[in-house]
Each structure stands twice: as structure tokens, then as C-alpha cells.
Amino acid sequence: MTGSLAAFQSDLGRALRGERACPIDPHSAGFRFTMQVRHSWRKGRAMLAARTVLSALGNDERQKLLDEYVDHGGGLEMFLAKEAECFLAFLKPRLSDPSHALTLCEMQQALYQARLGASTFVPQQRRVGAGLVRRGRHGTLIRFHADPGALLTALNGGALPPVGPPDHAVVFGPGLPNLFRPATDAEAQLWASLPLTDASPALLAPLLAEGVVEYSDVADVRACTHGPDIAR
């Protein structure tokens, strides 16, 4: 009896995940209600995972993307940080380009990468004739289409600023105290030209120390998976 009940519960749980046929009538009021509650819970979890990005979208587009993500298997990660990683990867190719939502998505991904590398980061020193300089494994430069401070302030209920030229560059790196800072025009130009063999010592040294850039002989051990369907 116990084994049969356990098997029934297992089959019912897998049916709720869409993995097998339902052991009860799938059109019954109880099963449909349970599916609705589960769908709503998964949407709520996804909303928490990418709240900043979703706040920059209209309600119709936000709900459409949430439903699509959940229908593709989203909202089930055990850890919220992993849920955010997966949902952001799902959102990025589906957001208008250019748009504040896309920039915020890239910002969240950049913060995740910088935070991921912060605990093991060892600053590099500039070397003479050391070879190729590349973008850091945990470093990123994001170009905003409005002042970043004004954009983030607007997410608390104000009107979003117009989408202008991408003139507001911000670098992200594991060696930065807050994981990010404004970038100079020279740094943005350097980032766009990477990889390269060398650069001005005064320009390169802080970027190396912050993990924004690195030498190409540093092993890249990143490994990230997003599940079978979520990022497609």
C-alpha cells in the first residue's frame, strides 16, 4: 500500500512537470487548479530572479516572457542565483535591441560573472612583452543608453529616460570594490579593440588589477549550463 501510494505521488509529480501521462484525469478541477498554482509560483520565482530587467518592460511583454520561460521549463532551479542566470540567458535574445531592458539584462549578467570570480580573483600586473591581452573571464564593459543612475532610479516608479546613444560605459570586474565603476572613453575604446598585444601602461594597469582584462595565458575554467530548453 505504501509503495503504491509513493508510486502514485511520484507519477503525479512527474505529470505536473509534464514528464509523463497523468495518473488521474488531467481535466479534473483539482489537477487543473494545482497546475495553475504551480505555474503562478514558478512565474513569481522567475520575477524575483530578474526583477530589475522585467521592471523596464511593459506589463504585456513582461507577462508574455514570463509565461514563455515557465512553459520552457523555467522557474524550477533550487537556488535563486542559478534561476537568475538561466532566466537572463533566456531573456537576452528576446529583448529589443537597443533597449534599456537589454542593457539591464547585460548588466545583471555582468554582475553575476564579476561576483562569481571575486572570491578567487588574483590581480595581475602588467608584463612587458607578455603576449595577448583579452577581455577578462569575469570582466565586462556595458554601454548604457542613458545615465545608469537615472535609469535605475526610474525603475522605482518613475518614467524611463529616452533610449539615446550608447555613451555611458561601465566596467564590471571581480577586483572592483563594488564590482563596477564608470569607464573612461579610452577604456571603452581599448575594450572594443581587444584582444591586442599591448596598450598604454597607465591604461592597462588598473584594468588588469580589477580583472576587467587579463593575459591570454590565464586558463579559462568557466562552465555554465542553462538546462535543456531554457536558453533557446
Q: What is the pLDDT of residues 64-100, one digit of tens each?
A: 999 999 988 898 888 889 999 999 999 999 999 999 9
Please indicate, yes or no, if residue 194 is contained in any of the structural domains.
yes
Please indicate, yes or no, if residue 55 is contained in any of the structural domains.
no
- Give the helix/strand (H/E) hosting 140: strand 140-144
Domain that holds residue 126: 97-215
How far apart (Å, rounded) are the C-alpha atoms in residues 104 and 166?
13
Which stretches within 72-200 are classed as H helix? 80-91, 100-118, 148-154, 185-193
Residue whose C-alpha cell reads 563594488 in the numeric block = 178
Please indicate, yes or no, if residue 145 is contained in any of the structural domains.
yes
Beta partners for residue 180, in sequence order: 172
Please indicate, yes or no, if residue 128 is contained in any of the structural domains.
yes
C-alpha cell at 165: 546613444
- Computed over every residue of the chain, the mean pLDDT equals 84
Please indicate, yes or no, if residue 210 is contained in any of the structural domains.
yes
Please indicate, yes or no, if residue 29 is contained in any of the structural domains.
no
pLDDT digits (tens, 9 = 90+) for 149-185: 999 999 988 899 999 999 999 999 999 999 999 999 9
Count: domains in the chain: 1
- Give the helix/strand (H/E) hosting 225: none
Please give the model's pTM, rounded to 2 decimal places.
0.79
Tell me how far the alpha carbon of residue 71 is from its chain's centroid: 19
Amino acid at site 37: V
Please indicate, yes or no, if residue 74 is contained in any of the structural domains.
no
Please indicate, yes or no, if residue 181 is contained in any of the structural domains.
yes
